[in-house]
Amino acid sequence: MRIFLLSLISIFLTFVASAQTIERCYELSAPFYNPQLSEELEQYTAEWIKNKPLTSRSKITIPVVVHIVWNKEEDNISDEQVHSQIAALNRDFRLENEDLSIVSSFFENIIGNVGFEFCLATSDPAGNPTTGITRTETRFTNVGAEASSNIYYTDEGGKDAWDTERYLNIWVAETGMALGHASRPGENIAEEDGVVVHTKCFGTIGTVQPPYNLGRTTTHEIGHYFNLLHLNGSSSSCEDDDMVLDTPNQMTNYLGCPDINTFSCGTQDLISNYMNWVDDACMAMFTQGQVDRMHAALNGARSGLLENTACLPTSTSQSMESKVSIFPNPARDFVYVKNTSDQVQESRYQIFTTKGQKIKEGIFHNNNPLNRISLPFPSGVYLIEYTVDNEKTVKVLLLF
């Protein structure tokens, strides 16, 4: 009898353990908050893909704000970990990742380059200098759980979104049973529009844990944000799909790292696609059809991102941005500012903390293209605003 009871307990514990398995991605099953927008967006998407209007933009920049909402100190991740995630996104969305060799040769001809460049905003909605990172201590555990809206509101223990039409808001926190979740255009109300990612899989350094340590959870969720679905659509049926022509229908979302020559629905499955649920090391590409769908979303429901200059202050000259550099960076005690523009008799600098507090300023009364600034400050992240003839540029500086 005792052995029988022990066996039952073992079976029960096994069942509980399997029930606690973390999901790769959580998708809302509720109707869209704005179903009319969803319907209009699908009509627009089909028309946009059909015509593929030419664009004159040589660079598509997506301004990002990362809201770190933490209950345990370990979830108050470092700025460096945040920067590692931005770097991972730029590799994945600009087709600069070095692991394309894992893609089956059957799909080599449909690999797409999204061409998006993500940057942490250097100005907030009020125009103040910022690192594009906010930090909020909360009394709640699992504040980013799928069924909760607390994370989106400061007065509920989370952090209010910045203008969701002009910024891609990413909340990083404990997320319960899913690694992340995101809202497609029209799915959530404006205050809750964005991406939520667990601290353990955000970035490529720090607190990340294998097999979700290459930043691909955020890549996957931003795919949803730009109107991509899972490859199997919303059900485990070969009759359902993701509304992208060049991704074959598949029966289910794959976990782990399956054989790339896996078949279902009569065709080979695209295991290494970012919109599958596989481990980070086993996903490496979007298709050209997915690229088109994301560009349609960016030029439609997400077009406010294109109008935002939050990656540079509104008074910053693009030519000035390219002519001013700071080094070394990261730095310890000092930094040099190099200015290759047509130098005038005077240039100015101001140094701010991440909270916008000015801690140092100065004027260079010469035409020297290389000037030294001493930095008697604690380690951390700072902003240097450099001005010549009313043209400004802002640089992020790391002190160690």
Burial group, residue 160, by CB count within 10 angstroms (0-12, 13-18, 19+): middle
Give dist(CA 350, CA 279) in Å, integer. Answer: 44
293 and 52 Cβ atoms separated by less than 8 Å = no
Q: Give the global pTM.
A: 0.76
* Torsional sign, CA 237, 238, 239, 240: positive
Consecutive H or E run containing 120? strand 116-120
Residue 366's pLDDT is 72
Residue 22's pLDDT is 59
145 and 158 Cβ atoms separated by less than 8 Å = no
CB neighbours (10 Å) of residue 9?
10
Domains in the chain: ranges and CATH: 20-307 (3.40.390.10), 318-399 (2.60.40.3080)
Q: Looking at the annotation, which residues are catalytic?
A: 221
Residue 370's pLDDT is 83
Residue 148's pLDDT is 87
What contacts 389, CB < 8 A, 6 or more positions away? 344
Main-chain phi, psi angles of 278, to 5 degrees:
-70, 170
Residue identified by tokens 């930090």 is 135
Sequential pLDDT tens for the chain (400 residues) = 333 333 333 333 333 333 335 577 766 545 677 778 778 888 999 999 998 876 545 578 999 999 999 999 999 999 999 999 999 999 999 999 999 999 999 999 999 999 999 999 989 999 888 999 999 999 999 999 988 899 999 999 999 999 999 999 999 999 988 899 999 998 899 999 999 999 999 999 999 999 999 999 999 999 999 999 999 887 778 888 899 999 999 998 899 999 999 999 999 999 999 999 999 999 999 999 999 999 999 999 999 999 888 886 434 444 566 678 888 888 888 898 888 776 566 888 889 876 567 889 898 877 677 889 999 988 887 888 888 776 777 788 878 7
Residue 208's pLDDT is 96
Instruction: Give CA separation, 331 vs 80, 97, 328, 335, 336, in Å.
Output: 14, 28, 5, 6, 10
